[in-house]
Amino acid sequence: MLNYRVVAAAALLSCCVAATAQVPPDIAEKTRAAGQSMDPATGQPYAALFPPSAWEDVTIERDVAYGNDALHKLDIYAPEQPGEKRPVLLFVHGGGFVRGDKHGAFYPDNIPLWAAKEGMVGVTINYRLAPGTPWPGGAQDLAAAIAWTRANVARFGGDPERIVLFGHSAGANHVADYVGNAEAQGAEIAAVKGAVLLSPNYFVEPSDEPHSYYGTDWELNSVAGTVKRLGASGVPVFLGDAEFDPDAMLATALGLREGLCATETGCPRYVHLKDHNHFTEGMALGTSDRSLSGPLLEWIAALR
């Protein structure tokens, strides 16, 4: 079997860049010891790197309705300092399609907080979950959240025509599915300037079991199908994975970056996060560990 950790670290395409390791040594040691752990607690050491002052100078408005379902809620993080037409970062949480929340004790709140601290407006959403809401529910909810953001974010200082989508894990799938499927989109797609996919997970080969969200539509849930759809979208892609992500996610990242380079959309900006796992990669945003935030800010600034 192919060792995707080795491939991801060594076989970087010319379009891509490996992030410089900036993980605090004590956290790096713990992460390496945990290996491909899927325990969120492995990322908790990053919480200690957020002093109380990190939450200052940011205005937070929570649980704003963007639709009719109880889960159709979003939070907005905006810099207190006056400003207009700031880029908007809209974050979609993970949770295996069946769990997760936009608000936690520190994560994923650190992501829209980081956006606000960097001069953007951060938006983070909840959405309907599988199995009660299968495909295309997640993409439809994301479309509704983008439409609400486009219509309302100017009063928070955001630019309604400059929205960057950012999904982690299952949230990255939802972002990719929305961007790649025109039937899920409305007029709001015109405001989307880029898509950040952090550790998405698609099948390289069909599974024998129905998926909780995609059911038995293997083409929809495949790397090859996602490459075809994203590749025709023309939306720039930033792709990241972690050294200690599960093999399936490393395989997904490998397939996406190789496949997209042969499409109209072109090669994604790719960052392989050394000494990170599936949870530390996102929990580090906003701290002194700029393995992800450095390249990501550069990419967002270059979007047109």
* Per-residue pLDDT tens over the stretch 44-98: 999 999 988 999 999 999 999 999 999 999 999 999 987 889 999 999 999 999 9
Partners of 18 in the β-ladder: 272
Give the residue numbers spanning the domain of 297: 4-302
**Number of separate domains in the chain:** 1
What is residue 22's predicted lDDT score, i.e. its pLDDT? 86
| CA distance linking residue 124 with residue 73, whole number of Å | 9
pLDDT at 206: 82
**Paired tokens of 276:** 């990170």
Between CA 63 and CA 121 the distance in angstroms is: 16
N- to C-terminal Cα separation, the chain: 41
Query: Which CATH number characterizes residue 85's domain?
Result: 3.40.50.1820
Query: What does pLDDT average to in each consecutive run of 10 residues of the chain (304 residues)?
Result: 37 40 91 97 95 92 98 97 90 98 95 97 98 98 98 97 98 98 97 98 90 95 97 98 98 97 96 98 96 97 93
Give the per-residue pLDDT at 8: 38
Residue 256, φ and ψ in degrees, nearest 5: -65, -45
Q: What is the pLDDT, as a whole number, of residue 190? A: 98
> Residue 84 has what pLDDT?
80
For residues 147 and 58, give the distance between their C-alpha atoms in angstroms, rounded to a whole number.
23
For the chain, what is the largest distance between any 2 Cα atoms, rounded to a whole number of angstroms? 54
HEC per residue, 126-191: CCCCCCCCCCCHHHHHHHHHHHHHHHHHHHHCEEEEEEEEEEECHHHHHHHHHHHCHHHCCHHHHH
